[in-house]
Amino acid sequence: MVEPLSVSPSQTSPQAAVPEQPQATPSPPVQVSAAPPTSSAAVVSAAAEKEFAGFGARFLASMVDGMIVGAIYFVLMIPVLIVGVMTAAGGGRQNSGAVISGLGLVFQLIDWAATVGYYIYFTAKGQTLGKKALKIRVVRVENGDAPGYTKAFLREVVGKTVSAMVFGLGYLWMLWDRKKQTWHDKIAGTVVVKA
């Protein structure tokens, strides 16, 4: 009698043998963040994260800046005045009137240059000395950076001229504006925030 042949699993062909695969551990779910919104209305500006400066702080800062500009003007005016007086004294009565008229024009130019130079230089960096004392600063609406010289010129020369034109209404506009912007802030694309 012939016994049936038994085949063990180790004797099977290599094709039939399937090695046991280690079980893969499930990976944690991948979190996909949505792309940031691209519409300008949905973008939150860096400046909006700060608290806007109020009328009182801005007014006091402008008073401090006015005193500083006045001191600069006074220092620049002294040598011009000395030269003017010496010229008028040496030229007799006829030349005195021309010298005094010329001095008036020179004083106006010095005043304008001191004021514009001071405000553009310091506003471009974000703070005049008055704003620094009151812990407020001027920033760009779109990114919260310092304005730079172009925006400082737009704000301090063009914008402030426009703000003053209609009985100073442009300066008072911040009292009811949501971002407390004056007209010169709107023209330059800036806001004043607490530093």
pLDDT at 87: 78
Report yes or no on 41 lying in a domain: no
CA dist., res. 122 & res. 155, Å (int):
12
Q: What is the mean pLDDT of residues 46-55?
A: 78
Provide the percentage of residues in the chain whose pLDDT is more than 70: 72
pTM over 0.75: no
Taking 60 as the threshold, does the pLDDT of residue 9 lie above it?
Answer: no
Taking 80 as the threshold, does the pLDDT of residue 90 lie above it?
Answer: no
Report yes or no on 24 lying in a domain: no
Report yes or no on 165 lying in a domain: yes
Taking 80 as the threshold, does the pLDDT of residue 174 lie above it?
Answer: yes
Domain that holds residue 61: 51-194
Q: Select the more confidently predicted residue: 17 or 170.
A: 170
- Tell me the per-residue pLDDT of 108-161, one tens digit each, with 9 for 90 and over: 999 999 999 999 999 999 999 999 999 999 999 999 999 999 999 999 999 999
Report yes or no on 110 lying in a domain: yes
Q: Select the more confidently predicted residue: 41 or 141.
A: 141
46 CB-near residues (< 8 Å, 6+ apart): 139, 142, 143, 144, 145
Report yes or no on 12 lying in a domain: no
Q: What is the mean pLDDT of residues 53-82?
A: 94
User: Lowest-pLDDT range, 11-20, 61-70, 166-175?
Assistant: 11-20
Closest CA to 61 of 122, 124, 144, 142: 122
Report yes or no on 90 lying in a domain: yes
| Runs of H (alpha helix) within 37-54 | none
Q: Select the more confidently predicted residue: 61 or 83.
A: 61
pLDDT at 73: 93
Quote the mean pLDDT of the chain: 82
Report yes or no on 147 lying in a domain: yes
pLDDT at 50: 82
Closest CA to 156 of 193, 130, 174, 183: 183
Report yes or no on 4 lying in a domain: no
Looking at the structure of the chain, the number of domains it has is 1
Structure tokens at 97: 């009137």
pLDDT at 47: 53
